[in-house]
């Protein structure tokens, strides 16, 4: 499956560069896995990118057939390289660039973190937003169903006065 324009010519940015090799940071940016090349490079430096199971530096050259793992907490995405490119391409051309081989469990983990993301709020990170508060209420309220609450009418004020 080759990308071609109306005249039948292959898209110029899909050509294999440097004999089928590309820098990992450029490939990650060109394949739209990271928004900027700087972010892709920083991810490599911080050990969040692995090629064939080995953490790599930004200048590492990758080739067709390599498996790239990218950790974007809480998920580790995995991609099999189909073409090595160093120039960014449109989103419609991405199926020609890589194959997503991320295990289904990773997507389930992502969904779980979306559902319960507000539970992991670090202490002191600020006041919950209105949306966070509503999500917390929705999470807590079903567990309180059937709870009648405290009966203030049966509270005996005389017992407290006798203790003083």
Burial of 54 from C-beta contacts in 10 A (0-12 / 13-18 / 19+): exposed
- Contact assessment for residue 60 and residue 43, using Cβ atoms and an 8 Å cutoff: no
> Alpha-carbon dihedral of residues 79, 80, 82, 87, nearest 10 degrees?
40
Amino acid 19: pLDDT: 65
Mean pLDDT score, 50-74: 93
| Greater model confidence, 1 or 64 | 64
**Model-level pTM greater than 0.85?**
no
């Amino acid at each position: 499956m080759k990308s071609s324009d109306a005249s039948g010519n292959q898209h110029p940015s899909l050509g294999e560069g440097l004999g089928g090799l590309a820098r990992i940071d450029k490939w990650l940016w060109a394949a739209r896995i990271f928004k900027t090349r700087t972010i892709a490079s920083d991810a490599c430096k911080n050990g969040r990118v692995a090629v064939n199971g080995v953490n790599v530096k930004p200048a590492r050259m990758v080739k067709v057939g390599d498996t790239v793992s990218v950790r974007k907490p809480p998920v580790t995405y995995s991609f099999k390289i189909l073409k090595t490119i160093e120039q960014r391409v449109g989103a419609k051309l991405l199926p020609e660039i890589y194959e997503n081989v991320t295990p289904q469990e990773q997507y389930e983990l992502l969904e779980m973190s979306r559902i319960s993301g507000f539970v992991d709020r670090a202490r002191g990170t600020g006041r919950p937003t209105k949306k966070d508060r509503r999500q917390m209420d929705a999470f807590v309220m079903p567990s309180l169903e059937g709870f009648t609450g405290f009966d203030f009418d049966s509270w005996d004020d005389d017992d407290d006065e006798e203790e003083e």
